[in-house]
Amino acid sequence: MIVIRSIKKLSSYIKDQKERSKVIGFVPTMGYLHQGHLSLVRRARKETDIVVMSIFVNPTQFSPREDFREYPRDLKRDIKLAESCGVDVIFYPSIKSMYPEGYLTYVDVEKITDFLCGRSRPGHFKGVCTVVVKLFNLVQPDIAYFGQKDFQQVIVIKKMVRDLNIPVKIKICSIIREEGGLAMSSRNTYLSEKEREDAKVIYEALCKAREMILKRERDPKVVTKQMKNLILSKSTSKIDYIAIVDTKNLDPLEETKGRVLVAVACWIGKTRLIDNLIVKA
Ligand code: AMP
């Protein structure tokens, strides 16, 4: 495995692989790797010839009040984990090389970024789309792998890829959870022992929603009310949103019918966590 920091070196590496007709798989991350990230790598390893992982804590997707500075970073540890799962190249660019002085260009997907996470994190998806387009242009992957955990992110990226005719296939990978159900996240390191225990309620609430929907509860409001009560039973929790939406376009549903996405964002203490479940009603 090699670690490439410079854009120029990455470009010449990619050119070389393309000349040899290698299929390139790409896993973009912000590092501080866990089994969720590594599941994306394992899938890419099976389906492509060369696996490129980017590690870049992207400043443009954090608002000034968010945790850009505190976001956990440990490149040494990430290198070991990435290598053990068969990553060929870690692309680890500097902020200066990605956003040189005078940088002015951003990619904005409209409408589907106005609600859910987009509402409480204005500008977040603009930052995500911008960095993902830049990374796609640099890595030129045939297939890029994203986690279902950030469901809105994948829907937004798929839309962007379609709208901008970017020649890459997007694959969605299942959510990897800790024992007890908490979705793995680099931000879980912020949680105290008590908060980690309380955070299990998020998955419990999602499972409760699934149970209710499968028992033919058709009214999303009845389901979300139960979820809300369950989550708020923990002293450290505060809800950002609970939503039951269409899996294709994230439109809110009047009735739980077909394939629905149950999505939650909440704070456990000062840590904002997201999770979701797809239910076939
Ligand atoms: P991040 O480093 O948090 O930006 O995540 C990088 C990629 O890993 C994104 O596509 C995430 O959706 C995905 N990911 C994060 N957590 C998980 C998880 N628990 N299970 C599966 N994929 C995940």
Distance CA 168, CA 113 (A): 21
The per-residue pLDDT for 180 is: 95
User: Which of 29, 37, 188 to probe ligand 1 with, by most ligand atoms within 8 A of CB?
Assistant: 37
The per-residue pLDDT for 140 is: 98
The per-residue pLDDT for 255 is: 96
Ligand 1 centroid to residue 42 C-alpha, Å: 13
The per-residue pLDDT for 119 is: 96
Strands 50-55 and 169-173: unpaired
pLDDT band for position 113 (cuts 50, 70, 90)? very high
Alpha helices in 57-182 (DSSP H): 75-84, 95-98, 117-120, 124-139, 151-163
Distance CA 61, CA 130 (A): 9
The per-residue pLDDT for 225 is: 98
User: Which of 26, 40, 51 to probe ligand 1 with, by most ligand atoms within 8 A of CB?
Assistant: 40
- Other beta carbons within 10 angstroms of residue 83's beta carbon come to 14
Distance CA 6, CA 261 (A): 39
Tell me the pLDDT tens digit for each residue of 180-221. 999 999 999 999 999 999 999 999 999 999 999 999 999 999
Tell me the pLDDT tens digit for each residue of 117-127. 999 999 999 99
pLDDT band for position 133 (cuts 50, 70, 90)? very high
Say yes or no: CB of residue 188 within 6 Å of ligand 1.
no
Q: Please state the pTM of the whole predicted model.
A: 0.98
Ligand 1 centroid to residue 147 C-alpha, Å: 5
Tell me the pLDDT tens digit for each residue of 45-66. 999 999 999 999 999 999 999 9
Distance CA 211, CA 112 (A): 28
Say yes or no: CB of residue 150 within 6 Å of ligand 1.
yes
The protein residue with its alpha carbon nearest to ligand 1, atom 22, reads 147
* Residue 197: alpha-carbon gap to chain centroid: 23
Tell me the pLDDT tens digit for each residue of 157-177. 999 999 999 999 999 999 999
The protein residue with its alpha carbon nearest to ligand 1, atom 14, reads 147
